[in-house]
Amino acid sequence: MKLIYSILIVVFLYSCGNENTDKVREDREDENTESASDTLLTPEEVFSSSLVQEILDEDDEELQIYLEEEFFTVASKSPKVTIDKISSSQYIFSFESDSIMKNFLIQKFYIPAKDEFIFEKREIDFNTSEKLLK
C-alpha cells in the first residue's frame, strides 16, 4: 500500500513539474515574439511611438502618423525632442535645432463631412509655449 502511495506522489510531482516547465517555455516564447515585433519598427515608428506612447502615455495612432510624416525628418537628429499635451486636441512639440529650441503648436481637428481627423501646425515662440503650458 505504501508503494502505491509513493508511486502516486512521484507521478503527481512529476506531472506538476512538467506543467511549470511548459508554462515557463510559453512565457519565454511570448517574450521572444514581443521583442521580435519591437525590432520590426521603422525609425519613424520608433520616433512617434516613443513620443506618443511613452511621453504622452496615450495610444493615438493618427498623432503618431502625423509626427512621422511632419516632424521626423527635421527632429530625428535633434539632441532633445519632447511633446506636451495642452488639451484633448492641442499639443506642443519641441525640439532643439542648431542650439535653438523650436516649438510647434499642433492642433487636431475632426472633419464631420469626411469622418476624419486632420492636424495643423504652427511655429510658436518660447514665451508663448511657456504660457500655454502653465
pLDDT tier for residue 119 given thresholds of 50, 70 and 90: very high
Q: Cα(45)–Cα(61) distance, rounded to whole angstroms?
A: 10
Q: Can you read off the three cell numbers belonging to residue 54?
A: 511613452
Least confidently predicted of 4-8, 49-53, 86-90: 4-8
Least confidently predicted of 5-9, 19-23, 73-77, 88-92: 19-23
Coil, helix or strand at residue 92: strand
- What average pLDDT does the segment 77-88 reach? 95
pLDDT at res. 83: 96
pLDDT tier for residue 75 given thresholds of 50, 70 and 90: very high
Choose the most confident range, by mean pLDDT, from 3-7, 18-22, 26-30, 82-86.
Answer: 82-86
Torsion of CA 6, 12, 18, 19, to 10 degrees: -160
Give the pLDDT confidence of 25-54 residue by residue, as tens digits.
Answer: 566 666 655 555 556 999 999 999 999 999
Q: Can you read off the three cell numbers belonging to residue 116?
A: 476624419
pLDDT tier for residue 126 given thresholds of 50, 70 and 90: confident
The residue with greater pLDDT, 99 or 35, is: 99
Alpha helices (H) in the chain, listed in sequence order? 2-38, 43-49, 61-70, 72-75, 126-133
* Cα radius of gyration (the chain): 26
**Number of CB atoms found within 10 A of residue 78's CB:** 16
The answer to whether 84 and 92 are in contact (CB under 8 A) is yes
Record the pTM.
0.66
